[in-house]
Amino acid sequence: MPDEPVASLSDVTRTYGGVPVLESVSLAVDPGLTAVVGPNGSGKSTLLRVLVGATEPTAGEVDLPGATGPKPIGYLPQRVPFRDGFTARETLAFYARLVDDDPDAALDRIGLGDAGERRVEALSGGMRRLLGIAQAVLGDPSLVVLDEPASGLDPGMRERAFRAAAERADGDTAVVVSSHALDLVDDHADRIVILRRGEVAAAGPLDRLLDEHGAADAKELYRVVVGEAAALAGDDTEAPDGDESDGEDKGSEDEDGDGGDSDDGSESDDDEPAVHVTGVSDR
Binding site for ligand ADP (CB under 6 A): 16, 21, 38, 40-46, 249, 251-252, 255-256, 268-270
- Interacting stretch for Mg ion, rule CB under 5 A, among 20-28, 40-48, 128-136, 169-177? 40-48
Q: Which is nearer to ligand ADP, 43 or 125 (CB)?
A: 43
d(CA 172, CA 144): 11
256 binds, among ligand ADP, Mg ion, none (CB under 5 to 8 A by kind): ligand ADP
Q: How far is the CB of 123 from ligand ADP (least distance, A)?
A: 23
Residue 126 backbone dihedrals phi, psi, to 5 degrees:
-65, -40
13 binds, among ligand ADP, Mg ion, none (CB under 5 to 8 A by kind): none
d(CA 157, CA 130): 8
Per the CB < 8 A criterion, the answer to whether 29 and 176 are in contact is yes
Q: Which H, E and C letters describe 123-149, residue by residue?
A: CCHHHHHHHHHHHHHCCCCCEEEEECC
Maximum separation of any 2 CA atoms in the chain, in Å: 51
d(CA 188, CA 268): 31
Q: How far is the CB of 252 from ligand ADP (least distance, A)?
A: 4
46 binds, among ligand ADP, Mg ion, none (CB under 5 to 8 A by kind): ligand ADP
Q: Which is nearer to Mg ion, 34 or 45 (CB)?
A: 45
38 binds, among ligand ADP, Mg ion, none (CB under 5 to 8 A by kind): ligand ADP
| 3-state class (DSSP) for residue 252 | helix
Interacting residues with Mg ion between 64 and 83 (CB under 5 A): 78
User: Does residue 45 interact with Mg ion by CB under 5 A?
Assistant: yes
User: Which residues share a beta bridge with 20?
Assistant: 15
d(CA 244, CA 157): 12
Positions in the binding site for Mg ion (CB under 5 A): 44-45, 78
